[in-house]
Chains A and B, each alone.
Chain A
Amino acid sequence: MAETLYERPSVAEVVTAKRGRGGRLHWTDIFTYVYLTLGVLLMFGPVVWLVLSSFKTPAGLIEFPPTLLPLGQISVDVEGYDKPLPLFRATLEDGSVRDLAQVRRIGIVSQMVDPADPETTIKVPIGQREPVREFRLAWENYKDPLERFNFMRYLMNSVIVTTAATLVTLLINSMAAYGLSIYEFRGRGAIMLFVIGTLMIPITVILVPVYLVVTKLGMVNTLWAVILPGAATPTGVFLLRQYMLTIPKDLIEAARMDKASEWAIYWKVVLPLAMPAIAVLAIFSIMWRWNEFLWPLIVLNRSEVYTLQVGLNAFQGELDVQWHYILAMTVVTLIPVVLVFAFLQKFITTGIASSGMK
C-alpha cells in the first residue's frame, strides 16, 4: 500500500523522461544500477555471511580459506569400534586415494582403517589426509547457550521493557512536543535549548551518576531501572515537535471554538495528525530499548530480571572468545529486528521520509 505513496509524479520521472523517448543512456543511469547492485552486496552481504557462519562448527569457523556453506565432517560406524569414526580422504604411498576412517592419531601419523575392511590398520602421515565433509548446520551453536539459561524469561523481560518504555516515551514525549509546538509562552526557547542540549549527552559518560540516582530510588534489579531513565528522550521531543509545528493552527483554533479541552485537542486532533512521526519514534524507541546493553549490564545483576541482551552475553567468560556462540547469539538478537523490519519496512521508510525531519 505504502508503495503507492511514491507513485505521485516525482522529480526523477521528469528528469529521466529522456529515457522514455528512446534517448541513449546517460552515464548516471549506468552508475545508478552499478551503485545499487554494489549496495545490495555491501549492505546484505555481511549479514548473510554472519548467518551462514553461525551454523558452522568451531572447527569450521577457524578454517582458512573459509567455506561458503557450513560443513561438518562425516563420521562412519565401523565394525569393532564403539564410537563412530571420522572419515578422511587419504592419499596412500602408492598414490592411490581412498576414503578411510581414522582410529587414532599418534604424533604426525594417523592410524586408519577402511570401513569395508576394519581388520587391517593403515598408517597415513597426517599431511596426506583430508576430512570428508558434507553440508551440515551446527544447530548446537544455538541449542547449547539457549539451553543453559532461561531464554523465555529473558525474552519476556525484553518484551516488557521494550513495550513499557516505548509507551512511556511516546506518551510523555508527545505531550511535551505538543506543549512546545502549539503554545507560545515564556520560557519556550529556554526549554527547547535545554532539550537540544541534552540531545547530545551520551549516556556512557554519566553512567555512574545515573546509577546513583537509580540506587536512591530503590530501582536496582527491577525492570524499572531500564524502563524509566531513558524514557524522556530528547530526540523524541525534538522529532515530534518539528512535525507538530507543521500542523495548521486553524485546526486547533476551530477545535477551541467547539469548546474542546486542551487535552482533547491534544489527543483527538493533534495526535492522529502526528501519527507518521509517532510511528517513527515508536520504531526507534523499540530498537533503542531492544538493543540496549551497557546500562542493563550495570543495573541488572539478578537472572530473573535479565534482558535478552544481558542474558545472551552471559556466556562470555574471562578467558575465552567463543565465536561460534557469539555469532549464533548475535543472530538470535537479530531475529526480532528482522521481523519488525519485514512487517513495518514500508511504514518505517515512508514514515521517516514524510515526518518531521524536514
Chain B
Amino acid sequence: MADPATLTMSERLTALVALPARMVFQVLEYPLMLIQRLVGIRGMPWVFLLPNLAFFGIFVVIPLFINFAFSLTGGTQLFLADRVYTGTEQYAYLFDCGNYLDPTTCREDRFWKGIFNTSVFIFFQVSFLVLFSLITALILNQKIRARGFFRAVYFFPVLLSPVVVALIWKWILLRDGVLNAFLVWLGFDKILFFVSPEWAMFWAIFVSIWAHMGFYTLILLAGLQAIAPDLYEAAEMDGTSRERVFWRITLPLLWPNMLVVIVLALIKGVQIFDEVFVLTGGGPGTATQFIVQYIYNTGFTQQVQNFGLAAAASVVLGVVLFVLTMIQLAVTRRRDNG
C-alpha cells in the first residue's frame, strides 16, 4: 500500500468504497464455499449467473412473453386475462399494404413511415457518426497540448440525458433561437428548422451524433493506442506519406474496433426515441417519427391505448433487431477467431 499522503483523489475514493464492499464479500464467502461444496466446481458458473438471470427472467423475459401474448389480443383491457384473443389480426393490420414501398398505400401508414424514417436516419447517422468518431479519435491520438481536456470535451455529452440534450438544442434552433440570430446577423433569413422535413431530419441526425460521438471516439482511440509503434517507425524509415500510412496501416489495424462501433451504432440507431421525440416531436407531419415513437404513441398517447397493435409492432421490431444481433455475433466471432 502506498503512503496515504501520496494517495490521489480517485484512489482515496476507491478505498472508501472498497471497505464496505470488502466486508460484504467476506461475509458471503462462507455460504458460497458451502454451495461450492454442494454443487461442485462445475456448478459454480450457474451459481454466479443465477442472480443476473433471475433479474433478466423477471424483468425482461416474462415481459417479452407478455408482450408477445398482447400482440395476439385486442381491446383496451390491461390484464391479459381480460383481453380478447384476435390471433394474427394485429399483424395482418400492420401488413395490410397496397405496395410495401409506398407507406401511403398501407392501412397503418404511420408504422411504415416509421420504418422508412428509421432506415433513412440510420443510414446517415451511422455513416457520419463513424466518420466523425474516426476523425476525432485520430486527432486526439496525436501529441497535442491539453489532450486530456479535449478528450473530456468530446466525451461529456455522452453523460447527458436524452431529454436534456434535446432541450439544449431545441432552445438553440427555435425561430427566435440563437442560431437564427446568428443567421440574421450574417444577413440570411430566419429558417424555421422544425417546419422543413429535411432540416428536421438533419438536426435529428446531427444532435444524436453530437450526443453519442464521444463514446465511439473512445472505443476507436483505444484501438489506435493498441497499434504497435514500430509499424509507424518502419513506415517513417521508408519515407511513406502520412496519407498512405493511414490507408495501409492505421485503417486495417483499426478495423475490428470500427466494426464494433458500426454495429453498436446501428443497434442504438434502431432504438432512437427520446432525443428526437423531445426535439422535433416526430414532425413536421411524420417526417421524423421513428419506429419506437410509433410504438409508444400507439400504446400510450392515444385515447384508446392500443396495447395489442403496439405489441405487434414491437415484435416486428424485435425480429429486425434479432437479425442485426446475428450479424453482430457473426462479426465478433470472426474477429475473435481472426
Contacts and interface: CB of A to CB of B under 8 A. Distances in A.
The answer to whether any beta carbons of A and B sit under 8 Å apart in the complex is yes
Interface of A: 1-3, 6, 9-17, 26, 28, 31-33, 35-36, 39-40, 42-44, 46-47, 49-50, 53, 62-66, 171-173, 175-176, 178-180, 182-183, 185, 188, 191, 193-194, 196-202, 204-210, 212-213, 217, 228-232, 234, 237, 261-264, 266-267, 275, 283, 287, 290-291, 293-294, 309, 323, 326-327, 330, 333-334, 337, 340-341, 343-349, 352-355, 357-358
Contact of A49 (B41, B154, B171): B171
Contacts of B176: 62-64, 66
Contact of A293 (B153, B163, B260): B163
Contacts of A171: 51
Contact of B45 (A42, A185, A199, A352): A185
Contacts of B322: 197, 200
A246 B153 CA distance: 30
Given A201-B60, A358-B223, A212 B148 contact: no
Contacts of A193: 325, 329
Given A39-B154, A179-B48, A206 B185 contact: no
Contacts of B25: 263, 267
B52 A326 contact: no
Contact of A32 (B52, B142, B274): B142
A49 B136 contact: no
The 4 closest A-B pairs by CB, nearest first: A291-B161, A179-B48, A232-B55, A209-B63
Contacts of B66: 209, 212-213
A108 to B, nearest CB: 23
A228 B325 contact: no
Contacts of B67: 205-206, 208-209
Nearest to A202: B271
Contact of B236 (A15, A231, A266, A348): A15
A349 B185 CA distance: 38
Specify which of A196, A205, A294, A358 lies most central, judged by the most chain B CB atoms within 10 Å of its CB: A205
A347 to B, nearest CB: 5
Given A12-B141, A39-B153, A354-B222, 6 more contacts: A10-B225, A46-B172, A50-B168, A205-B296, A262-B32, A293-B163
A330 B162 CA distance: 11
Contacts of B47: 179
A176 B142 contact: no
A3 B148 contact: yes
A262 B41 contact: yes
From DSSP, what is the main secondary structure of chain A's interface residues?
helix
Interface in B275-329: 292, 295-296, 299-300, 307, 310-311, 314, 317-318, 321-322, 324-325, 328-329
Interface of B: 8-10, 14, 25, 28-29, 32-33, 36, 41-42, 44-49, 51-53, 55-56, 58-60, 62-64, 66-67, 70, 78-80, 135-136, 139, 141-144, 147-148, 150-164, 167-169, 171-172, 176-178, 180-181, 184-185, 210, 215, 218-219, 221-227, 229, 232-233, 236, 242, 245, 257, 260, 267, 270-271, 273-274, 292, 295-296, 299-300, 307, 310-311, 314, 317-318, 321-322, 324-325, 328-329
Contact of B232 (A14, A39, A353): A14
B161 A293 contact: yes
Contacts of B158: 287
B271 A352 contact: no
A210 B168 contact: no
A213 B63 contact: yes
A209 B329 CA distance: 28
B273 to A, nearest CB: 6
18 contacts: A10-B141, A12-B142, A16-B143, A35-B136, A39-B150, A50-B167, A172-B52, A176-B48, A179-B49, A198-B60, A202-B292, A208-B307, A208-B311, A263-B28, A287-B161, A327-B171, A345-B156, A358-B222
Contacts of A64: 176, 180-181
A4 B240 CA distance: 30
Contacts of A198: 56, 60
Contacts of A200: 267, 270-271, 321-322, 324-325
Contact of A15 (B70, B232, B307, B325): B232
A48 to B, nearest CB: 10
A353 B178 CA distance: 35
Contacts of A194: 56
Specify which of B49, B148, B307, B328 lies most central, judged by the most chain A CB atoms within 10 Å of its CB: B49
Given A39-B154, A183-B44, A358-B226, A341 B219 contact: no
A87 B42 CA distance: 83
A352 B215 CA distance: 8
Contacts of B60: 198, 201, 206, 232
B295 A44 contact: no
Contacts of B184: 65
B171 A262 contact: no
A261 B144 contact: no
A224 to B, nearest CB: 11
Given A26-B242, A200-B270, A352-B219, A326 B167 contact: yes
Given A208-B70, A347-B10, A337 B321 contact: no
Nearest to A32: B139
